[in-house]
């Protein structure tokens, strides 16, 4: 893997020695006008944790998820490079379908949006529906996720059927192929990068297990 050195400060005593920091394709695109390409590593920087480590095209640490072993798997917190909570992602209790609520920061009241696993397996390309929250009459479809998370090939569409984010397998670098734990998240201007990464975390909760199909 291509090594990088993110500029975020991490306590070296908390980082396992085998976790090499790697980095994807270079990009000089504007965050305002063009897609942002992030490299997502499905691994925590900390010992005894699983989660995600996400870098931008300059090798800077952007997002992280650190779940301690034995911790509550029904709640995940997406953080920035400094460890500040951006989104709290919590599985909805007593839900017939696999349904997750996403809150701003560390709050667990007034969710920002909800993500429901698509239950109709006759339409396998549809993975999940993302809806704004509120009263049933005010709920509206915000995004539709299609593709295969297991294959790292997903598209996120808005209500106008525009592709706003993509999950893609990462191309080999220097002849070295990456596995499914390293992939790209392409974020288009129509969606916030934090929201897009929040959707990745939810998809991993829904479809990330070895026994799950999509």
* Residues 6 or more apart whose Cβ sits within 8 Å of residue 74: 90, 91
Determine the average pLDDT of the residues in 143-164. Answer: 95
Is the pLDDT confidence value at 104 over 80? Answer: yes
Q: Where are the beta strands (DSSP E) in 69-161?
A: 75-80, 85-91, 99-104, 113-117, 126-132, 141-148, 153-158
Proportion of the chain above pLDDT 90, given as a percent: 55
* CA atoms within a 13 Å half-sphere pointing along the CA-CB vector of 31: 6
pLDDT of residue 133: 77
Judged by average pLDDT, the poorest of 1-10, 106-115, 163-172 is 1-10
Determine the distance from the C-alpha atom of residue 61 to the mean position of all C-alpha atoms in its chain, rounded to a whole number. 14
Q: Which residue has the tokens 């990009």?
A: 27
The most confident of 13-27, 48-62, 94-108, 128-142, by mean pLDDT: 48-62
Topology given in CATH for the domain delimited by 27-207: Porin (2.40.160)
Q: Where are the domains of the chain?
A: 27-207
Reported as a pLDDT band with limits 50, 70 and 90, residue 179 is confident
Is the pLDDT confidence value at 8 over 60? Answer: no
Closest CA to 165 of 156, 174, 152: 156
Proportion of the chain above pLDDT 70, given as a percent: 74
| Residues 172, 146 contacting (CB under 8 angstroms) | no
Reported as a pLDDT band with limits 50, 70 and 90, residue 70 is low
Reported as a pLDDT band with limits 50, 70 and 90, residue 65 is very high
């Amino acid at each position: 893997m291509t090594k990088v050195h993110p500029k975020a400060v991490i306590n070296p005593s908390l980082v396992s020695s085998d976790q090499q920091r790697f980095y994807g394709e270079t990009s000089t695109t504007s965050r305002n006008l063009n897609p942002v390409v992030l490299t997502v590593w499905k691994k925590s920087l900390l010992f005894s944790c699983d989660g995600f480590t996400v870098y931008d095209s300059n090798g800077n640490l952007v997002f992280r998820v650190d779940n301690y072993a034995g911790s509550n798997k029904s709640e995940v917190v997406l953080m920035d490079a400094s460890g500040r909570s951006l989104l709290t992602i919590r599985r909805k209790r007593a839900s017939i379908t696999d349904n997750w609520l996403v809150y701003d920061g560390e709050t667990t009241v007034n969710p920002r949006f909800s993500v429901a696993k698509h239950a109709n397996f006759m339409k396998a390309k549809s993975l999940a529906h993302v809806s704004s929250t509120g009263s049933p009459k005010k709920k509206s479809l915000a995004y539709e996720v299609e593709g295969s998370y297991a294959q790292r090939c997903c598209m996120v569409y808005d209500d106008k059927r525009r592709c706003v984010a993509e999950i893609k397998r990462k191309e080999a670098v220097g002849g070295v192929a990456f596995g499914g734990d390293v992939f790209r998240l392409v974020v288009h201007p129509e969606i916030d990068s934090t929201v897009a990464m929040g959707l990745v975390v939810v998809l991993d909760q829904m479809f990330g297990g070895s026994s799950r199909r999509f």
